[in-house]
Amino acid sequence: MAVSQKICVQPHKTVLCISGLAGTGKSTLSKKLAQKYNLHYYSGGDALKDLAKQEGYDISVQGWWESSDGLKFLKERVNNPKFDRAVDEKLLEHAKQGNVLLDSWTMPWLFTGGFKIWLDASVEKRAARVAERDHMPFEEALKMLEEKESRTKAIYKCLYNFDLGDDLTPFDFILDTDTLTADQVFKVLCRVVDNVSTFCI
């Protein structure tokens, strides 16, 4: 669907979903877009980390999801869907209220409506970004990304029967970020957002 066709007349019901695998810059970008367009920001990853903290994990480490503790919690999620279900139910409540930006891997598939953006990048580029961000060797970052994403995809396939990162049919706009800086990605998406009247539910 062309961006210009996704128009609604309920600005108080604005719902914008940003998704993309680790290393695409989606969380940083989502926060900047939410601030620029005065939307409430909610992150599925942050909500899961809060649940991990309640389970006794130390989530203060930068790049926690790619750490040994992050991967350990991921294994817990594989064996017990209660964490993901609780987060997704809360995100759906926020979406129904409107005026939100959802930084989420699941909402593009679970929520009908809104405007949905997928940020794409090669696994090599993403691993390089994670390695730089978390000050680790490239090979280690690549290995952790592959393990994390394999398990995460399995969780969502089992819970909701969608293929994270492979099935992009829910998305209204897909952007390859491989050769773009964070600032360039932000400017491109601002142009997209500015040309869509609202993101309706």
H-only helix segments in 55-106: 68-79, 82-97
pLDDT digits (tens, 9 = 90+) for 54-99: 999 999 988 888 888 988 999 899 889 999 999 999 999 999 999 9
CA distance 48 to 118: 20
**pLDDT (tens digit, 9 = 90+) per residue, 11-49?**
457 899 999 999 998 999 999 999 999 999 999 999 999
Best CA proximity match to 30, nearest among 119, 156, 106, 91: 119
* pTM metric for this prediction: 0.87
pLDDT of residue 197: 57
* pLDDT above 60 for 103: yes
d(CA 52, CA 76): 10
CB 116 within 8 A of CB 170: yes
Q: Band of the pLDDT at 111, cuts 50, 70, 90?
A: very high
Closest CA to 24 of 121, 146, 157, 169: 121
Residue type, 21: L
Residue ranges of alpha helices (H) inside 98-137 are: 107-110, 123-134
Average pLDDT rounded to a whole number, residues 132-157: 92
CATH number for region 13-194: 3.40.50.300
Average pLDDT over residues 112-121: 95
For the chain, the domains span: 13-194
Mean residue pLDDT of the chain comes to: 89
pLDDT at 166: 93
CA atoms within 13 A on the CB side of 154: 13
Is it the case that residue 201 has pLDDT exceeding 60? Answer: no
